[in-house]
Structure 1
């Protein structure tokens, strides 16, 4: 293997060769996207914590809680709380690792998801937006979250699963498939958290903005670590080490 080539062209997370120049341009773009995403989320959170005009939208969705949608939304909401969400992320990481026959691809996926999603709990403490008032809802679900409302952690989690999956897809066909299914899943969870009556639509919007802005950066950071690991394996020292051991 040509070592000089290995330094300049290493497979990226998408499976295509990526040069150092291209990597820097992508890094600038992903960093800018993350900064914009964080800024928009903060601005939206500052506005949302003093406004509850979108409660009417939550109430409209919550009216569906009297139908078969209600028990389904309750079950999905409960299943995607902290430990359920972590279990799902770990399971998906394992499936991806097995499918790609590479443990590090699965680790990359899981780490990117968790690192993007985890800060949402801190954002909730920063903005301290109260949950929708139960007595103003047509059919309260009986679910009473103990944390703050903005942004929606459930929506952030599902949106992050999808965003990281799209960014790490190795082919355009797979990327389109993940994106298509992902849009359905995101729409479903966004609707369900309002059917349950625990979030405002602005909570959902903040979650989507955060995931869309931050996920590319966490995926890019993981890609850099994987490229660094591959470069170390392809370095002259690594290539010569087995021969030196054999000679000894």
Structure 2
């Protein structure tokens, strides 16, 4: 987390990928442009929260146990939300729309680094892999999740709403923070919370 933050400050004053951002924005035409803009809107904060709740609900229904669903939603939230704090601290400007051949509408005026969209998508995939790790669906989830991450990452830079380094930093953030949240929050803290253990809760209310 500290490394991602420090690198963000360096990139803020030395945007080494500014030229690459302009070149990639050149692909924002026709079907590709419509697709990448749609991807950006689908994974915006509001829909992202809804996606998390829906997936958590499905996990609850399938597993018939609220704890895996809670663990999934917790890993997503605790990994995703702090990245916005880093964004406020670093406050790297978005790619300059005056330099882009194709402007994204509406123009995004908040900070650029790291990408909240990318942090969310990567941690969504990672959290699903945690849930499915002991099932036959693990390989498929990894494959489809990788494709989703690549598509969203390319969409963000083609839209020119983020620099390529914003996207890469977001991938690093989620791949390192999410496992830490899993170990500390799910493996260490959740088993100690009696109200999350139906048997323990039943014992607690008995005289």
Q: TM-score, normalised by structure 1?
A: 0.75
Contact 1:61 1:195 in 2 (8 A): yes
5+ long unaligned stretches in structure 2: none
User: Which residue among 183, 186, 194 is the counterpart of 1:222?
Assistant: 186
Contact 1:143 1:196 in 2 (8 A): no
Q: In the alignment, which residue of structure 2 is the partner of 1:168?
A: 131
5+ long unaligned stretches in structure 1: 1-37
User: Which residue among 154, 176, 179 is the counterpart of 2:117?
Assistant: 154
Q: In the alignment, which residue of structure 2 is the partner of 1:68?
A: 31
Contact 1:233 1:239 in 2 (8 A): no
Q: In the alignment, which residue of structure 1 is the partner of 2:203?
A: 238
* 2:160 match: secondary structure: coil
Structure possessing the higher radius of gyration over alpha carbons: 1
Contact 2:28 2:159 in 1 (8 A): yes
Measure, in 2, the Cα distance between the counterparts of 1:178 and 1:109.
Answer: 14
Contact 1:115 1:218 in 2 (8 A): yes
Alignment of 1:79-118 (within 5 A): 79-118=42-81
Contact 1:112 1:215 in 2 (8 A): yes
* 1:64 match: secondary structure: coil
Q: In the alignment, which residue of structure 2 is the partner of 1:212?
A: 175
Q: In the alignment, which residue of structure 2 is the partner of 1:40?
A: 3
Q: Does 1:200 align with 2:172?
A: no
Quick one: structure 1 residues 98 and 134, their matched pair in 2 at CA, closer, same or farther if it must change by over 3 Å? same
CA RMSD of aligned residues (A): 2.2
Contact 2:45 2:117 in 1 (8 A): no
Quick one: structure 1 residues 170 and 54, their matched pair in 2 at CA, closer, same or farther if it must change by over 3 Å? closer
* 1:68 match: secondary structure: helix
User: Which residue among 182, 188, 201 is the counterpart of 2:151?
Assistant: 188
Q: What whole-Å deviation, never above 9, does each CA across 1:158-209 have from its counterpart, x for those lacking one?
A: 0010111222324164322211111101101100011111111110111011
Shift of 1:80: 1.7
Q: Does 1:127 align with 2:119?
A: no
Shift of 1:42: 1.8
Q: In the alignment, which residue of structure 1 is the partner of 2:99?
A: 136
Shift of 1:229: 4.3
Deviating more after overlay: 156-165 vs 103-112:
103-112
Measure, in 2, the Cα distance between the counterparts of 1:240 and 1:164.
Answer: 33
Contact 2:126 2:175 in 1 (8 A): yes
Measure, in 2, the Cα distance between the counterparts of 1:240 and 1:103.
Answer: 20
